[in-house]
Structure 1
Amino acid sequence: MQEKLKALSRCALFGGFSQAGLGEAARICKRKSFGEGEALYLKGASGKALTVVVSGSVRVTSILPSGRESILTIIGAGNWLGDAVFCSMPARVYGATAHQPVDVLEFSEAQVARLLAAHPEGYPVIVDQLARRMCAAMMIIEDDTARSIPARVGRRLLFLQMFQGDGRTSGQPVQLRVTREQLGNMVGLTRQAAQKAIQVFEQAGLLSLDYGTITLKNPAQLEAFLNDMDA
């Protein structure tokens, strides 16, 4: 129970709940574990749920008509997925796969509704979190239509960084478990084109590369660098 409570307290979506509300949330949620590559759920599946990532990371995906997996984002510990529980859509809009071994806390759609009915103080923060995600989605559309390839890659790295924690741009180093090929997949580029764009930021001292990971040395400085690129 205490471990669940600690995990929920780290999640920005639950930032508006009272201690009583957090306690109730910790009591009703179910803890689940998934191995790397295991599906949490598939696109189009029924039974919507709100999922909080306790450890590890989750890849949010869509399957293209060609059958290829398109990676939309990667959600890290302390963040959440399952926006559909807050709207009337009848099924899951996207799929989710364990990007690495992952532990999650899960709430059914009915549990979320009952929790908010009993603890409406949670609504303002939830609305803020949903609005942030909508703004982030609009920014991606803008990136893909109006910005250079390096700027698109850099801003997608910032987008991934936001999903590793509380949804804000950090000033501390952040390690992203994402390959250059996966990053290219997200922005519609080959691995080679993504690598060429990444080198712009590597040469500026803003990131470092290791096997299977990209470390942003200071995301706030990367954001300032990108803003200068747009000027």
Structure 2
Amino acid sequence: MLLHHRLEVLARSALFESLPTEALSELAAGAVERRLEQGEILFSANDPSDGLYIVLSGSIRAFRVNLDGREQTIHIEQAGGTLAEVAVFDGGSYPSTTIAEVDAEVLFLAREEVRRFMLLHPEAALKALEILAKKLRMVASMVEQLALMDVSQRLAKFLLDEAKRGAPKLKDGMSFSLPLSHAQIAARLGSVREVVTRALQKLTQREVIEIRGHRIVVLSVKKLRDGADDRMTAE
């Protein structure tokens, strides 16, 4: 990747978007591009960390695996998103494993280069804190859901959140794309494929949603919201 392309990528990233392009020149010069095929691991939990990554294209999923081999998705980053910010600041190992959900490209920035840059540009450090704070809130919400909600509730909330991504206002009959397998959905919910499949079947039987290939049609927004709040009655 040419230097001016790296500059464009950094300037569009969530972490550095507020900075002028000329300020990013030195950082861009030391950046290293890496291509990942679908299913390829970028780094593993507890590996020594040496920098952070910016997603150029594709989708990278961060997850942990429990003793039973069950995956729990922590977060997913797409173009412009960043990975491994925590390790850059505390000098520790990578906190999660990351994998390419589709073919992807990332830009690597060495830890010392990033730290030096942020000392010179405090606004970048403040932006990093903002990103970390958002991720902390997201993880806190995830812990709450895992502790207080069953899989059916978590699935209903997940579908609501996905629907809201593409529509400012939810309404009956709306549809949205969900190009994920049941196993991938299960990993995001801290469950297993079989349980998610049964939960989806119940939602279709109750005429809450309709599944059309990789699209979900919301037949009843109220029922879906009630499902997330545990007010649906079993039939």
TM-score in same-fold range (> 0.5): yes
Change in 2 beyond 3 A, CA 1:189/1:44: closer
| 1:72 Cα offset (Å) | 3.1
In 2, Cα distance between equivalents of 1:2 and 1:215: 38
Deviations 1:155-184 (A, max 9, x none): 34577x6xxxxxx95537875543111211
- What residue number does 2:74 align with? 72
* Pairs within 5 Å for 1:1-231: 1-156=3-158, 169=165, 171=167, 175-198=177-200, 200=203, 203-204=207-208, 210=213, 226=225, 229-230=228-229
Residues 125-168 of structure 1, C-alpha deviations (whole Å, 9 max, x = no match): 22111111111111111112223533312434577x6xxxxxx9
SS in structure 2 of the partner of residue 16 of structure 1: coil
Larger radius of gyration: 2
4+ residue segments displaced more than 6 Å: none
* Structure 2: runs of 5+ lacking an equivalent: 169-174
Q: How much has 1:215 moved relative to structure 2?
A: 5.1
The count of corresponding residues between Structure 1 and Structure 2 is: 218
For residues 36 and 100 of structure 2, what CA distance do their matches in structure 1 show?
A: 6
**Partner AA of 2:103 in structure 1:** P
User: Measured at CA, do residues 115 and 149 of structure 1 come closer, stay the same or move farther in structure 2, by a change above 3 Å?
Assistant: same
Query: Structure 2 length as normaliser, TM-score?
Result: 0.74
Q: CA deviation at 1:76?
A: 2.0
Normalization by structure 1: what TM-score? 0.75
Change (3 A) 1:26 1:182: same
Q: In 2, are the aligned partners of 1:48 and 1:84 still within 8 Å (CA)? A: no
Deviation at 1:21, TM superposition (A): 2.8
